[in-house]
Amino acid sequence: MSTERARDSLLAAARALLLMAASIIGSLLLFIFSVLSLAFLPLGLGFLSTPLVVGLTRAHANQRRLLAHDWSGVTIRSAYRPLPEQRGGLAGRVDRTVQLLRDPATWRDLLWLLVDATAGFTAVVFAPALLLYGVYGLVLLAGVWQPIFDASGTIWFAFVPISSWFTAALAAVTGIGLFVLGLFLNPLILRGHFVLCRLFIGASHKQQLAQRVARLTETRHDAVDSSAAELRRIERDLHDGAQARLVAMGMSLGAVEALLEKDPAQARELLAQARASSAEALTELRDLVRGIHPPVLAERGLGDAVKALALRMRIPVEVDVELPGRLAEPVETAAYFAVSEVLTNAAKHSGADRIWLDIYYGDADRTLKIAVTDNGRGGASLDGGTGLRGIERRLGPFDGVLALSSPAGGPTLVTIEVPCDPPVARG
């Protein structure tokens, strides 16, 4: 057996001990509190306690989902229905309790608490027990069996009765076998525990499809709204900028025609103004086109585009890009404008004097990963009106996600992940 396998097995045994504590203490207590809270509903007290207990249960279940993914690679998707914003007062608590009790996932969590405190606990007991019981067999062979035998007679180790040194040696051999068996089985035992959890708190295939449809419907609406807003912005910029200058230039040229023979000097002055207006209109049109789809993004890809964007920032931005090729054009566009918005927010609101931007592609999960970190004051939130919600809407059609970590005092870390095909080299 390799050293790595032995280390993984010992680590699985240690993790099993933590799961045992979480099952027999956390799950059992939450099950008792849940039953008491439901029993108090007719008295009215349950409407105050049920939202709290259900919230703690869901946090407990989500923690188990996280451990399942991190420790055994088992994905357990949640199936909780989205909850509307809670109203204040007693009526709001009653409404929230009713919504939670109508969610089938709430009752599945309750059943899981009972199963986890019994079958889940029993399943993971074997991981440390096989190792510890195997060591106990060697301890008996060291002579510990004699005083025990003298005090109470024959000792049973598994299926071996110990009454002599020979039987103690048989017990030690059996213990070594159990220890080796534990080294092989412990990772599987841990995984089996999480698979059992998935049977009760994991979203079914039907529920996943329903969540997917709801997500696509939401992102479709967001995409339509974003496209409409973008069209209005372009129309407004054209109307207030380039169009107004072109109209003014046309009027100037008309005046030039009238003054060309009467007042050549004035005509030349108007021509100079028209030339300046045309240059300004061309600049505004270029800026508008750059806002729609930057030329450097189309020509050289996301990496060079964000580097050019960083050079225009008033705060120094350290850029680290590891992309072996070009991504799909819609993904590059969404990622570019998401980065642009995050950098703009950091420059306006963070009070930072340095920003770090990292972009790379994760081959394992086929995901574009972007991290923007600043050393500002922190305290940002997704509900703070800083444009991060707009980024979420932009990423929504690609199933992209945005996460924010911004404790008071900083630093602020914004991570973006967009599932997409691997980058490809382009000529």
In eight-state DSSP terms, residue 40 is T
Q: According to the model, what pLDDT value does residue 292 have?
A: 53
Q: Which residue has the tokens 């999960």?
A: 365
- Calpha distance 190→82 (Å, rounded): 31
- 405, β-bridge pairs: 413
Q: What is the pTM of this model?
A: 0.55
Name the CATH architecture for the domain at 296-419.
2-Layer Sandwich (3.30)
Q: What Cα–Cα distance (Å) separates residue 202 from each residue in 69, 111, 112, 213, 215?
A: 12, 12, 10, 18, 18
Q: Which residues of the chain have pLDDT under 70?
A: 1-2, 84-90, 204-253, 255-257, 259-260, 276-277, 279-295, 382-387, 426-427
**pLDDT value at position 64?**
92
Distance between CA atoms of residues 63 and 240, nearest Å: 53
Residues β-bridged to residue 317: 355
CA atoms within 13 A on the CB side of 301: 15
Domain boundaries, the chain: 3-201, 225-292, 296-419
Reduced to 3 states (helix: H, G, I; strand: E, B; else coil), residue 159 is coil
Residue 108 and residue 110: Cα distance in Å, rounded? 5
One-letter identity of residue 122:
T
- How high is the pLDDT of residue 145? 75
**From residue 266, how far is each of 97, 248, 254, 276 by CA, in Å?**
79, 16, 13, 15
pLDDT of residue 222: 55
358-365 long-range contacts, Cβ below 8 Å, gap at least 24?
A: 358/320, 358/321, 359/302, 359/303, 359/306, 359/319, 359/320, 359/321, 359/322, 359/323, 359/335, 360/320, 360/321, 360/322, 360/323, 361/322, 361/323, 361/324, 361/327, 361/422, 361/423, 363/422, 365/419
pLDDT of residue 287: 57
Task: Provide the β-strand partners of residue 401.
Answer: 417
6: its two tokens? 């032995």
User: How high is the pLDDT of residue 244?
Assistant: 56
pLDDT of residue 103: 86
Identify residue 155 by its one-letter amino acid code.
I
